[in-house]
Amino acid sequence: MKQLFFFLFTVLTAFTVNAQFPGMPGGANAKAIPNMGHVFGKIVDTAGKPIADVSVVLLQNKYDSVAKKKKDVLLKAFITKANGEFNFEELPMFGMLKMKITATGYLALDQTISFMPKMDPTAAKPAGGPPAGGDMSAMMGGMSLAEKDLGKIKLKSDAKELAGVTVKSTTPLMRLDIDKKVFNVEKNIVSAGGTALDVMRNVPSVNVDIDGNVSIRNSSPTIFIDGRPTTLTLEQIPADAIESVEVITNPSAKYDASGGGAGILNIVLKKNRKTGYNGNVRVGVDKWGAMNGGGDFSVRQGKLNLSASMMFNQNRGRTYGTTDRVNLLDTPETSVTQDNFNKTKGGFMFGKLGLDYFITNKTTLSLSGIRVHGEFDPNEIIDITSDSLFNSGKISTYSERLTTGHRQFDGKGLVFGMKQLFTKTGEELTADINYFGGKNVNNSLYTTNYLTTTHGTIVGTDLQKVLGDGSDKNFTFQTDYTKPFAKNAKLETGARVAIRSRTNNQYNYVFDKTADEYVLVPSATSNYKNTDNVYAAYATVSSSIKDFGYKLGLRAESSNYDGTLTNTGVKFSNNYPISLFPSVFLSQKLKNKQELQVSYTRRINRPNFFQTIPFIDYTDKLNITKGNPDLVPEFTQSYEMSYLKTFKGNNTFLASVYYRHKTNLITRYLNQETDPLTGSDILVNTYINANSSYAAGAELTSTNYLTKWWDISTNVNIYNSKINTDNINGTSQDALWSWFGKFNSNFKLPAKFTMQLTAIYQSKSNLPANTGGGGMGGPPGFGQAQSASQGYIKAYWGMDIAIKKTFLKNDVASVSLSVNDIFKTRYTNQFSQSEYFIQNYNRIRDPQMFRLNFSYRFGKMDVNLFKRKNMNSSGTQDAMQGMQ
Q: Tell me the pLDDT tens digit for each residue of 550-604.
A: 999 999 999 988 888 888 888 878 788 889 999 999 999 999 889 899 999 998 8
End-to-end, the C-alpha distance of the chain in Å comes to 35
Average of per-residue pLDDT values in the chain? 78
Asked if 846 and 318 touch (Cβ cutoff 8 Å), the reply is: yes
**145, 122 contact by CB (below 8 A):** no
E strand map for 24-155: 37-44, 55-64, 69-79, 85-91, 96-102, 109-114, 148-154
Q: H or E segment at 347? A: strand 334-358
pLDDT at residue number 273: 53
Q: How far is Cα 421 from Cα 482, in angstroms, rounded to an integer?
A: 10
- Quote the CA–CA distance of 66 and 579 in Å, as a whole number: 70
Q: Hey, what amino acid is at 246?
A: E
**DSSP-assigned letter for residue 130:** P
Which of 247, 292, 285 is CA-nearest to residue 265?
247
- Give, in degrees to the nearest 5, the angle at Cα 253 between 252 and 254: 90
pLDDT of residue 518: 95
Closest by CA to 270, choosing from 18, 32, 16, is: 18
Domain 276-860, CATH: 2.40.170.20
Q: Mind giving me the DSSP string for 383-395?
A: EEEEEEEETTEEE
From CA 247, how far away is CA 237, in angstroms rounded? 17
Amino acid at 134: G
Question: How far is the C-alpha of 786 from the C-alpha of 834, rounded, in Å?
Answer: 9
∠ at Cα 74 (73, 76), nearest 5°?
A: 150
CA distances to 32, 208, 553 from 806, rounded to whole Å, are 17, 29, 46
Confirm if 791 and 820 have CB atoms less than 8 A apart.
no
Question: What residue type is 439 in one-letter code?
Answer: K
Distance between CA atoms of 304 and 276, rounded to whole angstroms?
11
CB-side neighbour CA atoms (13 Å) of 877: 5
Q: Are strands 526-545 and 548-565 parallel, antiparallel or unpaired?
A: antiparallel
pTM (predicted TM-score): 0.71
Q: Write down the number of H helices and E strands in the chain.
A: 4, 44
Helix, strand, or coil here: 809? helix
CB 145 within 8 A of CB 133: no
Residue among 53, 36, 300 nearest 862 (CA): 300
Give the pLDDT score at 403.
93
DSSP letter at 839?
Answer: E
pLDDT at 492: 95
Give CA–CA dist 240/282, Å, rounded.
9
Give the pLDDT score at 67.
Answer: 66
Distance CA 489, CA 535 (A): 27
Q: 366 and 358 in contact (C-beta within 8 Å)?
A: no
- Name the amino acid, one letter, at 842: N
Q: What is the pLDDT of residue 763?
A: 93
- Cα gap 334→836, rounded to integer Å: 11
Interatomic CA distance for residues 628 and 51, integer angstroms: 67
Q: What is d(CA 356, CA 302) in angstroms, rounded to the nearest whole number?
A: 11
Question: In the beta sheet, which residues pair with residue 321?
Answer: 340, 843
Which residues have C-beta within 8 Å of that of residue 97, sequence separation ≥ 6?
A: 58, 59, 60, 75, 91, 112, 113, 114, 115
Interatomic CA distance for residues 774 and 758, integer angstroms: 28
Q: Which residues of the chain have pLDDT under 50?
A: 1-32, 118-146, 157-171, 771-789, 861-884
Q: Is 516 helix (H, G, I), strand (E, B) or coil?
A: coil
Look at strands 264-269 and 222-225 and give their pairing. parallel
Q: What letter does residue 650 receive in the DSSP assignment?
A: G
